[in-house]
Homo-oligomer: A and B are copies of this chain.
Amino acid sequence: MDITFLGTGAGVPSKKRNVSSLALQMLQERGSTWLFDCGEATQHQILHTNIRPRKVEKIFITHLHGDHIFGLPGFISSRSFQGGDSPLTIYGPKGIQAFLETALAVSGTHLAYQVEVMEVEEGLLYEDDHCTVHCHKLDHGITSYGYAIQEHDKPGELLVDKLKEEGIEPGPIYQQIKENPVVEYNGKKLYREQFIGENKAGRKICILGDTRSQESTKDFIQDADLLVHEATFAKGETELAYSYYHSTTEQAALLAKKANVGMLILTHISSRYQDDDIDALLQEAQSVFPNTKIANDLSTFQITNMR
């Protein structure tokens, strides 16, 4: 699983940073990619990556500001034009359906696949045998959400050495032990828990939309392996951040620290910050939360289990 940033700027595109979008690539885990936000020219950015639009299974929209949604009609249309035929589900705040329906109807767009639009509210949004997705309300003037993807724990490995010590040689019995709490073998009861290693904890990834720093987000992101948080402004600009419903680098880092996350990636960087400023932004965050990165367009990070 890794995460590729497609747009890391705030509000308007610049030559260096496009408007918001990122891709959570889970090709090994589930053979698909999820997008979070889809600002204008997301499909153009994708042309410079290995992401295949037909593999995009879900799109989560954090909020309806134009720099987070205006690339959606184009991405959806091109996915069809390029032969995508598997269903696509789009999650977002109320209004996303009207936006999409109007854009597709007016443009006479007929998709070769099924699109389901889910207008979301706080709470459990989605669950399957790989993970759950929860949704949490942020503080951004208009409705803005954060999404938490929690992988299920995976059962540990079979302890083959221990089985052999007990004289149990490889065969169909190994699979039986894996699948059943108790198995009878040569008149002996074998308990699964004795022959299976520790559970491998699933990863937790939290991707937040634009937001003021808020205390109530702490529980939602608690112990995440990865937190993606906006940092529109530098440490010193708390008033500006507050009045525009955004966060500073330091506020994001403090939240990451309080919630004991594994790694913090900052994005949604104002175009007022260039080159050297970016280093300064990074340092002020790292002085609070050392394992902080700042995302650039097209940068990719592996998501490892930090527990």
Contact = CB atoms under 8 A, between A and B. Distances in A.
Interface of A: 11-15, 18-19, 40-41, 43-44, 47-48, 64-67, 69-71, 73-74, 77-78, 81-82, 95-96, 98-99, 102-103, 106-109, 141-142
A12 B75 CA distance: 9
Given A66-B74, A95-B106, A99-B102, 11 more contacts: A12-B82, A13-B47, A40-B44, A41-B41, A65-B107, A66-B77, A69-B106, A70-B74, A70-B103, A70-B107, A102-B102
A66 B71 CA distance: 11
Contacts of A81: 11-12
Counting chain B CB atoms within 10 Å of each CB, the highest count among A12, A18, A77, A141 belongs to: A12
A71 B14 contact: no
A176 to B, nearest CB: 52
Contacts of A44: 13, 18, 40-41, 44
Copies of this protein, total: 2
A54 to B, nearest CB: 13
24 contacts: A13-B44, A13-B47, A13-B78, A15-B48, A19-B74, A40-B40, A40-B43, A40-B44, A40-B71, A64-B107, A64-B108, A66-B73, A66-B74, A66-B103, A66-B107, A67-B74, A69-B106, A69-B107, A70-B70, A70-B74, A98-B102, A99-B107, A108-B141, A108-B142
A272 to B, nearest CB: 13
Nearest to A71: B40
Contacts of A78: 12-13
B95 A99 contact: no
Nearest to A43: B13
The 6 closest A-B pairs by CB, nearest first: A41-B41, A102-B102, A40-B74, A66-B107, A99-B106, A95-B106
A117 to B, nearest CB: 13
Counting chain B CB atoms within 10 Å of each CB, the highest count among A47, A81, A102 belongs to: A102
B47 A14 contact: yes
Contacts of A14: 47
A159 B19 CA distance: 57
A103 B109 CA distance: 16
Counting chain B CB atoms within 10 Å of each CB, the highest count among A19, A71, A106 belongs to: A106
A37 to B, nearest CB: 12
A160 to B, nearest CB: 50
A239 B263 CA distance: 57
Contacts of A66: 73-74, 77, 103, 107, 109
A106 B64 contact: yes
A156 B14 CA distance: 46
Nearest to A14: B47
Contacts of A15: 47-48
A98 B106 contact: yes
